[in-house]
């Protein structure tokens, strides 16, 4: 009897000193070791699962924080970044017009994006355009969309992409600056979003898109942050728009020099900072890929400033501030498709080449061809974007991004061919789509302001405002 | 009463002001202007195209003085504003019929 009692006491003590979770479930009636171990394991697994969930939540929060921050940075690129960059480059009488176009697109494109844009770009559809599942943001909420990113809410992805949709048509306003009707610009943008932007975005990034390498696209194309979608589309559409709308009065006899390089400089610096959101944010997470893209972006921009400025120094004898900031933009344009796939040294090469090539396009080729792309959207974004897309196929490395594809330097020369095919598709879509949109607006409401309005300036003609008012004081 | 208008190099404004103060002139109007005489201007580059900038920044001083001060004032300006280069500017002298001080209706030389 005493032995039995002692045994029970020992058993109770043993249970008492084990961890609480174990004690709760360890059945007193059945004290065999096997059962205890099995239930212990189950408990442990539950604990591990709990820890994993908690770690996933932490990662998800970190990713979400970075992508939301990036979305805000990309919005800052349009306003005030691009708006100031463009605003300083035009004449005093057209400053408000540039600021207003960018700002209006921040509002209007955001609404279009929520109503139909996101759906046409990112919902399930065919190879060329998305479907209608996400119309009015139906079903776009806090649950992640694993096709795009498993760790951030689908709504965050939608917001981030929205800022890209905002800046792309805003870039085009530089091509027809100082002569386009404000109302026509708005209608053109609505059509352009439907015909050009949404299809291209779907093809390159959307579920089942023709060029989407991550989701079994027919032509697997590397475009990390929008070399086709943002840069080539805006650049080529700008070329078509500049030619179709026609030259400004007095071009090219008069030199329409920037009215304030100070303002343009401020805008360009904001673009540089914002571009970290644009490219590093396109990692859609806060991990090391974001760092890699951030690094590539910065070094490409730096090398392009040097490239463009050197050209000016050698050819004209002096480097200009306008050249330096144009070079920065050209470098970031070219690195955009490559930023998540290349290391810092190839990024410098890409940036430097972009600085040199874009300088040549803007300073030599444009003058020869005679079109009036007022603020050189084609020369910088069209040409830089195309160069960047090609060089992405050259320098892409799976050592940098294991989820990517190999480029020429890793022996995959076919990737260059695929990049060229995608460039061709985006050029054709931009040219034809823009032409259609322009013809429709031209035939219905006209594109250009009257000659007198152009002479008076769009600030007064379109908005009845002055950027630099003549101040009269009253006591 | 005589009005003296002097177009000078912007870099010489402070010297000219001191020289005028030294001869007892305190009132003047200074205007930022652009223009050129024989000076050719210079070239600037914009997007690869060279263009001439021939309207150069200058400063224009306007002052009205008593007739007996004219010679002294003009000499002061000439000496202070001269650098010896093309583009140093010019002095224009003209007769003034009347001066009226807004505050108290003083007229003529009294109002200078």
Distance separating alpha carbons of residues A142 and A207, to the nearest angstrom: 19
- Residue ranges of domains in chain A, CATH in brackets: 74-463 (1.10.3430.10)
Q: Could you tell me which residues of chain A have a Cβ less than 8 Å from any Cβ in chain B?
A: 252, 255, 257-258, 312, 316, 318, 320, 322, 362-364, 366-367, 376
* Chain A residue closest in CA terms to B52: A255
Name the fold adopted by B2-111.
Answer: Alpha-Beta Plaits (3.30.70)
Range scoring the smallest mean pLDDT among A67-76, A155-164, A380-389, B63-72: B63-72
Question: Does B47 sit within 8 Å of A367, measured CB to CB?
Answer: yes
Residues present in chain B in total = 112
* Chain B residue closest in CA terms to A258: B46
Please check whether residue A310 is in contact with residue A324, taking contact to mean a CB–CB distance below 8 angstroms: no
Name residues whose C-beta falls within 8 Å of residue A270's C-beta, 6 or more positions apart in sequence.
A76, A77, A80, A81, A84, A85
**Distance, in angstroms, between B42 CA and closest chain A CA?**
14
Closest CA to A340 of A384, A300, A387, A383: A300
Distance separating alpha carbons of residues A298 and A348, to the nearest angstrom: 9
Mutate to test the interface with A, among B42, B43, B44, B48 (most CBs of A within 10 A): B48
Task: Report DSSP state, residue B101.
Answer: -
If you average pLDDT over every residue of chain A, what do you get?
Answer: 93
Distance separating alpha carbons of residues A104 and A112, to the nearest angstrom: 12
What is the DSSP track for A409-420? GGT-THHHHHHH
Q: How far is CA A70 from CA A284, A303, B6, in A?
A: 9, 23, 57
Structure confidence at residue A93 as a pLDDT band (50, 70, 90) = very high
Residue B49 contacts A, CB cutoff 8 Å: yes
Nearest by CB: B51 against A255, A322, A366: A255
Please check whether residue A160 is in contact with residue A148, taking contact to mean a CB–CB distance below 8 angstroms: no
Structure confidence at residue A17 as a pLDDT band (50, 70, 90) = low
Structure confidence at residue A20 as a pLDDT band (50, 70, 90) = very low
Nearest by CB: A367 against B44, B48, B51: B48
Q: For the segment A137-151, what is each residue's pLDDT rounded down to a tens digit?
A: 999 999 999 999 999
Mean pLDDT on B77-90:
92
**Distance, in angstroms, between A296 CA and closest chain B CA?**
28
Residue B103 pLDDT:
94
Name residues whose C-beta falls within 8 Å of residue A442's C-beta, 6 or more positions apart in sequence.
A244
Mutate to test the interface with B, among A250, A257, A371 (most CBs of B within 10 A): A257
Mean pLDDT on A9-22:
53
Residue A7 pLDDT:
66
Q: For the segment A44-61, what is each residue's pLDDT rounded down to a tens digit?
A: 999 999 999 999 898 899
Residue A22 pLDDT:
43
- Of the CA atoms within 13 Å of residue B56, those in its CB half-sphere come to 19
Mutate to test the interface with A, among B44, B45, B50 (most CBs of A within 10 A): B45
Structure confidence at residue B39 as a pLDDT band (50, 70, 90) = confident
**Distance, in angstroms, between B46 CA and closest chain A CA?**
7
Structure confidence at residue B29 as a pLDDT band (50, 70, 90) = very high
Structure confidence at residue B43 as a pLDDT band (50, 70, 90) = confident
Tell me which of B55 and A198 has the higher pLDDT. Answer: A198
Mean pLDDT on A272-299:
97
Residue B47 contacts A, CB cutoff 8 Å: yes
**pLDDT above 70 (res A23):** no
User: What ipTM goes with this model?
Assistant: 0.79
Give percent of chain A above pLDDT 90: 87
**pLDDT above 50 (res A74):** yes
Mean pLDDT on A204-223:
95
Q: Which residues of B touch A255 (CB under 8 A)?
A: 46, 49, 51
Distance separating alpha carbons of residues A193 and A433, to the nearest angstrom: 10
Residue B84 contacts A, CB cutoff 8 Å: no
Give percent of chain A above pLDDT 70: 92
Q: For the segment B84-110, what is each residue's pLDDT rounded down to a tens digit?
A: 988 899 999 999 999 999 999 999 888
Q: How far is CA A9 from CA A22, A35, A40, A119, A307, in A?
A: 18, 20, 22, 69, 84
């Amino acid at each position: 009897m005493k032995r039995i009692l002692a045994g029970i006491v020992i058993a109770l003590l043993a249970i008492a000193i084990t961890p609480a979770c174990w004690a709760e479930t360890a059945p007193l009636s059945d004290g065999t070791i096997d059962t205890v171990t099995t239930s212990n394991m189950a408990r442990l697994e539950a604990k591990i699962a709990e820890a994993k969930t908690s770690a996933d939540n932490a990662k998800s929060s970190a990713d979400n924080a970075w992508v939301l921050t990036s979305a805000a940075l990309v919005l800052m690129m349009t306003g005030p970044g691009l708006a100031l960059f463009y605003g300083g480059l035009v004449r005093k009488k057209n400053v408000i017009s540039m600021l207003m176009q960018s700002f209006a697109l921040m509002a209007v494109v955001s609404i279009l994006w929520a109503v139909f844009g996101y759906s046409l770009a990112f919902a399930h559809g065919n190879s060329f355009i998305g479907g209608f599942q996400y119309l009015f943001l139906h079903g776009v909420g806090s649950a992640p969309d694993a096709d795009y990113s498993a760790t951030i809410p689908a709504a965050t992805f939608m917001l981030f992409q929205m800022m890209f949709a905002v800046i792309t048509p805003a870039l085009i306003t530089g091509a027809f600056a100082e002569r386009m009707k404000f109302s026509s610009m708005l209608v053109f943008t609505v059509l352009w979003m439907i015909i050009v932007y949404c299809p291209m975005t779907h093809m390159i990034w959307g579920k089942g898109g023709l060029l989407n390498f991550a989701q079994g696209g027919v032509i697997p194309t590397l475009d990390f942050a929008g070399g086709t979608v943002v840069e080539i589309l805006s650049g080529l559409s700008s070329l078509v728009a500049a030619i179709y709308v026609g030259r400004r009065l007095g071009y090219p006899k008069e030199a329409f020099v920037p009215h304030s390089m100070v303002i343009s400089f401020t805008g360009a610096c904001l673009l540089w900072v914002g571009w970290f959101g644009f490219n590093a944010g396109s990692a859609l997470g806060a991990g090391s890929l974001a760092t890699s893209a951030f690094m590539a972006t910065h070094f490409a921009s730096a090398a392009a400033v040097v490239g463009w400025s050197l050209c000016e120094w050698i050819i004209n004898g002096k480097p200009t501030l306008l050249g330096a900031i144009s070079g920065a933009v050209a470098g970031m344009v070219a690195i955009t498709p490559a930023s998540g796939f290349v290391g810092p040294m190839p990024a410098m090469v890409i940036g430097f080449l972009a600085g040199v090539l874009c300088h040549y396009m803007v300073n030599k080729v444009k003058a020869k061809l005679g079109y009036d792309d007022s603020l050189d959207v084609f020369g910088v974004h069209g040409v830089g974007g195309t160069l960047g897309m090609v060089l992405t196929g050259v320098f892409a490395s799976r050592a940098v991004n294991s989820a990517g594809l190999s480029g020429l330097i890793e022996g995959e020369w076919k990737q260059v061919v695929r990049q060229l095919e995608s460039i061709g598709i985006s050029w054709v879509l931009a040219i034809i789509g823009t032409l259609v949109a322009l013809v429709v607006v031209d035939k219905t409401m006209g594109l250009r302001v009257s000659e007198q309005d152009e002479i008076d300036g769009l600030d007064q003609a379109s908005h009845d405002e002055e950027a630099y008012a003549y101040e009269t004081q009253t006591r | 009463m005589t009005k003296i208008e002097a177009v000078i190099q912007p870099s010489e404004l402070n010297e000219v002001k001191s020289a005028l103060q030294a001869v007892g002139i305190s009132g003047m109007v200074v205007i930022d202007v652009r223009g050129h005489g024989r000076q050719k201007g210079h070239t600037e580059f914009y997007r690869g195209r060279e263009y001439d900038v021939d309207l150069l920044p200058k400063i224009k001083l306007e002052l009205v003085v008593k007739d007996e001060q004219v010679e002294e004032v003009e000499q002061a300006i000439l000496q202070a504003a001269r650098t010896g280069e093309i583009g140093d500017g010019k002095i224009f002298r003209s007769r003034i019929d009347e001066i009226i001080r807004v505050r108290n209706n003083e007229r003529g030389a009294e109002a200078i």
